[in-house]
Amino acid sequence: MRYNKNYFFTRRRFLQGTAAAGLLTALDSLVPAYARQADWGHSASNFQYPDLIDLHIRNTGLKVEGKDTNAITINDTVPGPLLRLREGQMATMRVTNHLKKDTSIHWHGLILPQDMDGVPGVSFAGIRPGETFTYRFPIQQNGTYWYHSHSGLQEQLGHFGPMVIDPAEPEPFKYDRDYVVMLSDWTFEDPYVILKKLKKLSSYYNFQRRTMQDFFRDIKEKGWDATMSDRLAWGNMRMDPTDIADITGSTYTYMMNGMGPGTNWTGLFRPGERLRLRFINAATMSYFDLRIPGLKMTVVQVDGQNVQPVTVDELRIAVAETYDVIVEPDNTAYTIFAESMDRSGYARGTLATQPGMRAAIPAPRPRPVRTMADMGMADMDMGGADKSAMDNKNSMSVMKMPSKPPAVKHGPDHHGSGAAAVAEFSSSRLHETGLGLKNNGRRVLVYGDLRSLGVAHDKRKATREIELHLTGNMERYMWSFDGKKFSEVDGPIQFYSGERVRLTFVNDTMMDHPLHLHGMWMELDTGAGEFKPRKHTISVQPGERLSADITVDAPLGNWAFHCHLLYHLDMGMLRVVSVSDRTAEASS
């Protein structure tokens, strides 16, 4: 597919680029200390871990190219300050709300008491204007995590920050210096205006739709019948194969540590050092494809959990995921390149030995186009998914790839009025790179590569399975589970304390969805047996069926489970998981 250069080099895009540079000049004073230009990262072994952290949430005005705008800052920075804690300590965070609306902080991926989880209406009442709420909980884990608002669309306005928990015991890998690399998406629009536009026209921000030129090229390559069949199929579903992301670079500026491409965040290193890069995707709606041209990345942690090292050239990071990688740069500069999944823009930074050094920015890649097979529809080649995984020679797993379960005849199920274009087949895609990454000449990380470094803590098999369908209606911009948005469900999903339960996800939509369970780990079934990787967020591709096992060890009470695409969550893609005592329930 030829790249649509007209989209990327219009006057509008140029103005957005200059606005991004202006934004980041203005934002420089609002960037936290860890992300300032020419940063030397963290290398000291005698780091002081605070007993009490004060966090102040307020509106902060910005001027961008003479235009006034506002962000929600934490301690006057975007992103918020890096919270560096140590496994085994008691953490105390005193949060004061200076906004005119309620707010909250959720500690993403942390295992903690139910009333400290920070979800208004589920685990606590929220923090009202002028009030201070104290979070206090023991740190029972280590790794790279983050925190963010769980109130309305505040996260889109800058209400998020990184968290690093250093381990009590030595780590199983060595490095000399580490950097937090936090990705996000910034917009000058009011998030609620964006939502109104999406509800009126779900493709409002898609400026990469197929043209008449694409139509004639497809006829030349595929023939009249195949092209017309494809166009009619998409037309019948009232969908567009280029609709990869609901919100795109037409309104988003993609950020790295609070800085856009024009400002170029820089992390410094000395020749011969091994660097640990802690990638965090704090975007509200954007998946990123990450690479550092000229450098291999060895993945050592995923979602804060150690994994058997995997060396790759590129990885896709879903919203809310974290990936820790080790790189060994030479005496030169390298570009950290985070390209949006729909190819409508990018975030970038630099690794260098001296301030001011820069490296080449990779040429943008063609925007991807979904196929009927990607959607799990009827003309799907039943062996095609296996073939595509094998064809992606750069993505061969470090273990022998197990035979892939066949696609399962699925729909159309009756998921209620909110469902539309239900996939007819669902299948495992653990060994597929995802849209736009196949056969690109690079070794791309896939979920099938992930194996926990240690054996499972709980070797029991699940005693029951709960199947959840990811559903939506793009015409009405409604998102749901099993065809019901949160306001329509009868009650919570019931978990019983101490049980082993399996969650199976079936994605009936054309979008990728990052699913996050609060309070418990999900062990992703990749075929790794006792080495299933533990994750707090699992991304599910269109037409995919995958499963995760859960040991229900969270305290009794209600926990949130939701899609971490913020506008999907706000539009109803949320459920409550209720953990109760089966014995007490039976006796009552």
Q: What is the mean pLDDT of residues 509-514?
A: 94
116: helix, coil or strand?
helix
Asked if pLDDT for residue 479 goes beyond 60, the answer is yes
Q: Which tokens sit at 156? A: 């889109």
* pLDDT per position as a tens digit, 162-221: 999 999 999 999 999 999 999 999 999 999 999 999 999 888 888 665 445 544 455 556
**Which among 334, 264, 265 has a CA at the least distance from the CA of 36?**
265
Q: Which residues contact 68 (CB under 8 A, 6 or more apart)?
A: 61, 62
**How much is the average pLDDT of 441-459?**
94
| Position 241 confidence tier, pLDDT thresholds 50, 70, 90 | low
Summarize pLDDT for 344-400 with one digit per residue, the tens. 999 999 999 999 999 999 998 988 887 766 655 554 443 333 333 333 333 322 223
pLDDT reading at 118 higher than 60:
yes
| Residue 65 backbone zone (phi > 0: left; psi -120 to 50: alpha; other: beta) | left
How many C-beta atoms surround the C-beta of residue 200 within 10 A? 9
d(CA 123, CA 166): 27
Give the pLDDT confidence score for residue 582 in this predicted structure: 83
Mean of the per-residue pLDDT values of the chain: 84
**With pLDDT > 90 as the criterion, what percentage of the chain qualifies?**
67
Q: What is the mean pLDDT of residues 485-499?
A: 97
In this predicted structure, the answer to whether residue 405 has a pLDDT above a threshold of 80 is no
Q: Mean pLDDT across the stretch 323-338?
A: 97
Strand partners, 561: 517, 575
pLDDT at 373: 64
Q: What is the pLDDT of residue 562?
A: 98
**In whole angstroms, what is the distance from residue 118 CA to residue 112 CA?**
10
pTM of the predicted structure, to 2 decimals: 0.85
Tell me the range of 27-31, 114-118, 434-438, 579-583 where mean pLDDT is highest. Answer: 114-118
The CA-to-CA distance between both ends of the chain, in Å, stands at 63
Tokens of 29: 């004073």
Tell me, what's the pLDDT at 586?
54
pLDDT (tens digit per residue) in 34-43:
887 556 777 6
Q: What is the mean pLDDT of residues 548-577?
A: 98
**What pLDDT is attached to residue 239?**
56
β-strand partners of 268: 352
Higher pLDDT, residue 387 or 133: 133
Quote the pLDDT of residue 466.
98
Using one digit for the tens of pLDDT, what is the confidence trace for 72-104? 999 999 999 999 999 999 999 999 999 999 999
| pLDDT above 60 (res 414) | no
Which amino acid type is present at position 220?
Answer: K
Phi, psi of 546 (to 5 degrees): -145, 160
CA-to-CA dists, residue 8 to 17, 250, 340, angstroms: 10, 9, 13
Confidence at residue 402, expressed as pLDDT on a 0 to 100 scale: 37
306, β-bridge pairs: 301
- Starting at the earlier edge strand, list the strands of the sheet with 500-507: 478-481, 464-473, 500-507, 545-551, 522-524, 534-535
Q: Give the Cα separation of 481 and 470 in Å (integer).
A: 5
